[in-house]
Amino acid sequence: MSEFDYDLFVIGGGSGGVRAARVAAGEAGAKVALAEEDRYGGTCVIRGCVPKKLMVFASEYADVVEDARNYGWDLKEGAFDWAGFKDRLNTELDRLEGVYRTLLKNSGVASFDARAKVKDAHTVELSTGETFTAKHILVATGGRPVRPDLPNADLGIVSDDIFHLPKLPKSILIVGGGYIACEFACILNGLGVEVTQIYRGAQILRGFDEEARGLIADSMKERGIDLHLGTDIVEMRCATEDDLAGHAEGRISMGTPMHEDAALHPVSDKRDGPIWVKATNGRSRVFDAVFFATGRAPNTVDMGLEELGVKLGRKGEVIVDDYSQTAVPSIYAIGDVTDRVNLTPVAIREGMAFVETVFKGNPTKVDHDLIPSAVFTQPEFGTVGLSEEEAREQEPVEIYSTSFRPMQTAFAGRSDRVMMKLVVSKATRKVLGCHIVAPNAGEMIQLAGIAVKMGATKEDFDRTVAVHPTMSEEIVTMRKPVRTA
């Protein structure tokens, strides 16, 4: 009989933790328990990828009626029903959470709806007061959105809150320039919200390919998003009667000097009331809501990890080796809590590699190189490999790139543009990076990612016959580089 209650205790019921738990139990025959303090499915299923993508789909219908008319259909426009959509969304999330719970149950995993912390190298303590011992502990607690260090920042919402709004605001300020900020700027704009976005950097989507970033920013502005770069919040508070009067008269906005008046009469101290915001350019405006998309932090607070000897990084991330093992040999960590590559499929891969290493006797490292990803802006952005800027810092490269108006929207009279881009090594001819800005770019980059991962050369792409007429055929028909670096 084992000296421990369980062979494995998983803390966190997100995609990575659930996969590791059920594979360890179902395939490796381990005795496994899992604790989750919130909803099963984690950030991705409950408050991230899945509900966000459904909101992306909903927002894209805004252009359907006008486009259909240009294609000969006699359709009438209607209003977006947020309440109806949200009901269906919650029903779907409930269904998915049930699937996760069922998968665990059917695999023989014991589940605990409680917060867990590590008491010692082999003991987990639950918020219910129960304690359990385990030969191995896996921390898979993910991350959380953070607000900036700013007075009254609690008046704003974060990404976890967006799916629970009782009604859509008429106007919103989105603070941030990363993929979450840009995705929700496009989503809310498509749903009819007046969107202003500010970002302190020189261009949105820092770290991605510069040419793609520029095209996406231009497209967002063309769609009506009021984008301000090199700008940040310096002050925010509940709006006053005087603020509202100045806003109604057009005296205060992000583009005009703020209205000054000594008489301040608070309207509301509730978070759902109008919010007055002042920016670094000295301008101000009243918004119905402020949405902070200013970063995420690993969920390691008050878990007892550091006290036990588990090393944490500057952001609170769990430091692990190539096999996801921490400084305490019996404790491992996977997913966003390690702040390696914060993507759901990566957390799942890390969970599978953990099981292979610890329970199947097959030491397995996770390959974090050349991971395809997508940003669900409008248009979408799919990317794999090195950006042009990263590649030219490493070696001489050739750049193959084209931008054009796609057939479907051009016929409908829209000015939308797409981009296809390959970054190619001069020495080896390998495609080092592929970047696509286009509708359904996420679907395209998944397949392009296979070729790039396999080490395909530009000549391999050239030998592939184009599928015509499609947008993606341009990936295999670009014969001459537009520049070298």
Q: What is the pLDDT of residues 127-137, one digit of tens each?
A: 999 999 999 99
Report whether pLDDT(269) > 50. Answer: no
Single out the catalytic residue among 136, 164, 265, 468: 468
Q: What is the pLDDT of residues 72-130, one digit of tens each?
A: 999 998 999 999 999 999 999 999 999 999 999 999 999 999 999 999 999 999 999 99
Domains of the chain: 6-144+296-359 (3.50.50.60), 153-292 (3.50.50.60), 373-484 (3.30.390.30)
Q: Note whether 142 and 299 are within 8 A (CB).
A: yes
- % pLDDT > 70, the chain: 94
**In the annotation, is 368 catalytic?**
no
Q: What is the pLDDT of residues 339-351, one digit of tens each?
A: 999 999 999 999 9
Rounded to two decimals, what is the model's pTM? 0.94
Q: What is the pLDDT of residue 244?
A: 84
In this structure, of 45-49, 243-247, 470-474, 477-481, the range with the lowest mean pLDDT score is: 243-247
Q: What is the pLDDT of residue 262?
A: 30
Please give the Cα distance from 46 to 49 (Å, whole number).
Answer: 8
Average pLDDT value for residue range 19-45: 97
Q: What is the pLDDT of residue 254?
A: 57
- Show the tokens assigned to 71: 């294609």
